[in-house]
Chain A
Amino acid sequence: MATTAPHTPRGSARGSAPGSSSTPGALTGLVPRLLEICGDDGVLTDLSQRRVYESDGLTYHRSTPGVVVMPTSTEQVAAVVRLCAEHGVPYVPRGAGTGLSAGALPHAEGVLLVTSRMRRIIEIDLDNECAVVEPGVANLDITRAAGPHGYYYAPDPSSQQVCSVGGNVAENSGGAHCLKYGFTVNHVRGLEIVTPAGEVVELGGKAPGAHGYDLIGAFVGSEGTLGVATRITVSLTRSPQKTVTLLSAFTSLDAGGEAVSAIISAGVLPSAIEMMDALAIEAAERAVACDYPEGAAAVLVVELDGPAEEVDAQLERVTALCADAGSFETRAASGAEERALIWKGRKSAFAAVGRISPAYIVQDGVVPRTALGEVLGRIAALSAESGVRVANVFHAGDGNLHPLVLFDDAEPGAGERAEAVSGAILDLCIEHGGSITGEHGVGVDKACKMPRMYDDASLETFDLFRRAFDPAGIANPEKLLPTPRLCGERPGVRTGVHPLVESGEAEQF
């Protein structure tokens, strides 16, 4: 699954110098040792094979890895990392390559460590309500394994069919339902990690709340800069007795936003509240004919789950609150198929936008929920002033915006104008006390934006922590924190549709 080749973008891409078909010089000496460790089928040196891994889900950033290794065990990972440490060679961990911040962007002079062959579900332990898995296991495969027993794995990033649990740990992945159930970090009980020195360390286990510093909590979301998780113990969640999905349509974005505030302040905690604006709805209608209410300027998708009686009580309240906020139509579905129909429009929105626009930038920013209305208004104004179209599809319940900034990359200067709008949207998030990333991570893409959110002292403190794990600076360098070499690059532009989305294997939220 990690072998899906990214398509070539029409726009310019940065990357390693073309022409060399063999492994970069500094690494040549390591290859025989890597072959010994990972076996003939576990090392890729051929340029065409290495190129397959030149980007993750954010295809604008590209760099051909010096060498690719695909270990099958903790021992192999540790041996590879030890070798890197010995020679001061950087390494970049990669799961399924679905990340959207170029966190798995390879290092041209380094080793790309791909965990896709470590994909055993080691144990489903129902008595302890947990699963023990290898990092390459696909997120949804845990739920597939636990589902028949009445359990599921709660974090559900939109790429969950293909994205790896190891990648989820690195990025602290959320998903539409993290409003109620939290992020990856809230579900990891134990980690076996290989440190940047190549040592294997066990943290926690089936018992939640290991003593000492909460290294698990700090490791989750560290974007591969503190080591590689080689075995992960995650909590399983009891499948709810009842789940209802509502679709509520509004004649204005403001009214939809009002409904969100009303629901939250009424003390209802839905598992998800998603919102789409008119442009996103239009794109989704064209793509998948989702049959959302005609004339809607905004729709909310609200999901309620839990004990049946509680869900029924909440359903009544949410329906009333939507009506009070000016909804002209609310549909509720409790059957799996009917619910999927409501979700279809929402889930297809990103790919759909790719069809109405030759290129787009997807932004991931967060604002306090109470600032949603104002920020959406400012985004609309930005769009009107600049003539750049912006479609809004987002996790409204927690203020996580995903504006899609549309442009035609064949038109000179359009990309720059779109970038300016995308950057201005992020500025709005910061201005309103929000965050530059709610779930996609910092990676390479937003490393240079970090100083907008944190002062120098805070950034230096992050670096102090990083150096505690990785004094030599070989673990996914040039990611997460700004460096002079890095900052000066342009922000990421997406052209067309990501190949995994195109092939229907993943959705982008």
Chain B
Amino acid sequence: MRQDLDVEGCALREGAPGDAVCGVVPTRVAVPTDTDSLAGVMAAAHRRGLSVTVRGAGTALDWGRPPRSLDLLVDVSALSWIDHNAGDLVVEVGAGTPVAELYAALAAAGQRLSYDPVRAGGTVGGALATGVSGPRRLLSGALRDLVIGMTVVRADGVVARSGGRVVKNVAGYDLAKLHTGGFGTLGVIASVAFRLHPLPESLRVVSARVSSRSRAEQALAALRGTTVVPSAVELDWPAEGAGRLDVVLEGTPDGLDARVEAAARALAPRGRDGDPAVAEELPEGWGLLPAEGTVALVTAPPAESVAAAAWVGELSGAVDAAAHVRGSASTGSLSVSFPPGTSSERVGLVVDGVRSAGGHPLVLLRAEPHIRAAGIDPWGEVPGLELMRAVKDSFDPGHRLSPGRFAGGI
């Protein structure tokens, strides 16, 4: 049985409970060392009709829905390499490269990937496959906007490339967009090329307490009226107590003073919530989602961010669900996190309330096992699902790549 998956450069072992994807233990685990051996093992899995899920550092194996079947877990963490071309502000990396390693290498050259990770300890491939971007997406765009090229191993083991290594390129379809946030259901990301930005010389965080929904909305409207060009505008809306807005400004030390002042004026015009605080560093745990408990992602039109957060607060308060809302107020991308162990009734009421009465799309990024067991639909209604199914059928006609892990049972 084992020989059929033997591929040079790819270790194989039996699956163990520690390899579980949303509770599903794989029969076997393959650890390819490069794109070739990844392609080899994928081709072998294709010939055998095996279902496959991919993992990097394993920080999001409890995200999404469990796969319907899992014959083979492909661990790409050995595909870890960094090819940085500082002069071109471009980097190409293997999918298994730890995000932290990439950032350290780039910082040493005064550059960065302008993306705030939402999980600690993850790999580049995992960040792409899950596709959730942190606060500074406001200035440079979401992670998908920073990808300029991608190499993917298809379900049948064929290696395909899209994009390239230059920042400007419109040759061919931008297939990387589909794989970013595709949860590995369309192919296995082997490597990716990113556009980079210079590290800003200085950074300031202007933070203000916002004691009510209307105060928060006023502050955001006033901020929109300025030309301070924030890198991030984060709303923190806890289950108890006042909310907070954190505005991140990046630039030159001289240029920042006036911007900080203008942002502070916008946030607290009459100082009713006290004067905004100014810090020179990002707060601890910036942008990270809680490492445990059920976490949802809500998207709202930016002007409705505060209303959406307040609505979650109301729904949550009514059933004592203690949901904590955080996210990018200016892009309308909000996370809702529940304390570990929150009951499925409570989570379900908040989820339904946001989707139906709130009218905002909500996806459960991580649903605790008892939430999954209760049958709450993690994806909800996703517009364009029929087209998505058609794309899936084209790339993975046998539905062997993480079957069922994505929207609509894809």
Binding site for B on A (CB under 8 A): 125, 127-129, 150, 171-172, 174, 178, 182-183, 185-186, 195, 199, 201-218, 220-222, 238-241, 261, 264-269, 306-310, 312-314, 366-370, 395, 398-400, 433-442, 446, 450, 453-455, 457-462, 464-469, 480
Contacts and interface: CB of A to CB of B under 8 A. Distances in A.
Report, as a range, how many residues of chain B touch the other chain: 35 or more
Interface string B214-238: 0000000100110111000000000
A218 B301 contact: no
A308 B282 CA distance: 24
Given A208-B332, A442-B172, A457-B159, 8 more contacts: A128-B301, A183-B170, A186-B141, A307-B228, A309-B258, A450-B171, A461-B160, A465-B178
A437 B142 CA distance: 24
Given A207-B301, A209-B299, A462 B173 contact: yes
B330 to A, nearest CB: 8
B114 to A, nearest CB: 11
Given A211-B407, A307-B259, A370-B87, A128 B299 contact: no
Contact of A218 (B175, B256, B257, B380): B175
B333 to A, nearest CB: 5
Contacts of A399: 88, 166-168
Given A206-B301, A307-B228, A307-B259, A465 B254 contact: no
Given A240-B227, A439-B170, A468-B387, A209 B141 contact: no
B168 A202 contact: no
Given A195-B387, A205-B301, A267-B110, A433 B165 contact: yes
A129 B255 contact: no
B199 interface: yes
A469 B110 CA distance: 42
Contacts of B181: 212-214
Contacts, number: 267
Contact of B199 (A182, A195, A267, A400): A267
B50 interface: no
Contact of A454 (B141, B152, B161, B385): B161
19 contacts: A127-B302, A171-B170, A172-B174, A199-B386, A208-B333, A211-B299, A212-B385, A212-B406, A214-B177, A215-B391, A218-B173, A238-B224, A266-B198, A309-B254, A310-B255, A368-B165, A454-B162, A460-B158, A464-B395
A185 B131 CA distance: 16
A461 B163 CA distance: 13
- Which of B162, B169, B174, B407 gathers most chain A CB within 10 Å? B169
Contacts of A261: 87
B177 A218 contact: yes
Nearest to B181: A214
Contact of B388 (A215, A310, A398, A467): A215
A32 to B, nearest CB: 31
A213 B110 contact: no
A207 B164 contact: no
B388 A212 contact: yes
Interface in B358-400: 360-361, 363, 379-380, 382-388, 390-391, 393-395
Contacts of B160: 457-458, 460-461
A242 to B, nearest CB: 8
A367 B166 contact: yes
B102 to A, nearest CB: 19
B166 A434 contact: yes
Contacts of B277: none
A480 B173 CA distance: 9
B30 interface: no
- Which of B168, B252, B332, B382 gathers most chain A CB within 10 Å? B168
B258 A465 contact: no
B299 to A, nearest CB: 4
Contacts of A150: 225
- Which of B165, B297, B363 gathers most chain A CB within 10 Å? B165
Contacts of A240: 227, 229
Given A202-B383, A464-B394, A238 B229 contact: yes
Given A202-B384, A267-B199, A221 B173 contact: yes
B168 A438 contact: yes
B85 interface: yes
